[in-house]
Amino acid sequence: MTGRLAGKVALVTGAGTRGDGVGNGKACALLYAREGARVLASDIDMDAAAATAEQIRREGGECVAFQADVSRFDDCNAMIQECISRFGRIDVLHNNVGITNSGGPVEYEEAQWDRMMNVNAKSVFLTAKFALPHMESQRSGSIVNIGSINGVRTIPFPKFAYAASKAAMIAMSREIAVQYAPLGIRSNVVLVGLIKSPIVVQNNTGLYGGEVEEMWRKRDAMSPTGKQGEVWDIAKASLFLASDESQYVNGAVLPVDGGIVNMVKF
């Protein structure tokens, strides 16, 4: 631990992991705590949030688990209020929650579209709505939004609503960055590329023929580096944006993808 977030409070949404291994949100919560932050670990699955909090406490950190559906107004309000009640401030708002479905505009049902936009985009609005007044009173704060390369380019599979929701996240982050910069608040996006994580196994194995190892092989081959990234690559980039080391980085869209975003085709 080097104390890069010492004295800070970080709220991480989607901080739990379902299934084996460590997902992006859990990795970020763990790394933030290891770097000195007190953490509120939020997830729609309380057991998953509690598991993250327990691991942080075992390692000597301070963490509170909280159950919230971040697509809901009341849940987001309660989540931010819990953070303030427990810790007295909020320095880092880390938006990690996201869902995905494949398909184009014809295949998508209206209910699928609505859910995708509510979870992936509306949640960014709602968490910011309730966190920003506290950051404004502090005259400081960092918002880290976990996006996707699909928000800026197409990928080999049609992800119509997912791409739209992640593009919306980028736009919202940019607007916050400019509006709140005079108040000492920054907002940035991490563009996630091909990452080897549990949620990929759950959501995408079928797109690659149903075999997990074959999926990993194909995804490795898609990257200019010859391999996918790890969840810790996302966590390390997020830590930089959360910390004071990035104090003059605002409104940025940072690809963590091995260079895929620059390829004509992958």
Q: Give Dmax (Cα) for the chain.
A: 52
* Per-residue tokens: 28: 């970020």
Q: Which residues pair with 190 in a beta bridge?
A: 146, 254
What residues act catalytically? 162
For residue 206, with 0-12 CB atoms within 10 Å meaning exposed, 13-18 middle and 19 or more buried, which class applies?
exposed
At 225, the amino acid letter reads T
Cβ-Cβ contacts under 8 Å for 51 (sequence gap 6 or more):
16, 17
CA–CA distance, 136 with 153 (Å, rounded to integer) = 33
Closest among 255, 250, 253, 248 to 224, alpha carbons compared: 255
- Indicate the angle between helix axes 160-180 and 123-138, nearest 10 degrees: 20
Closest among 64, 151, 175, 54 to 100, alpha carbons compared: 151
The total number of residues written for the chain in this structure: 266
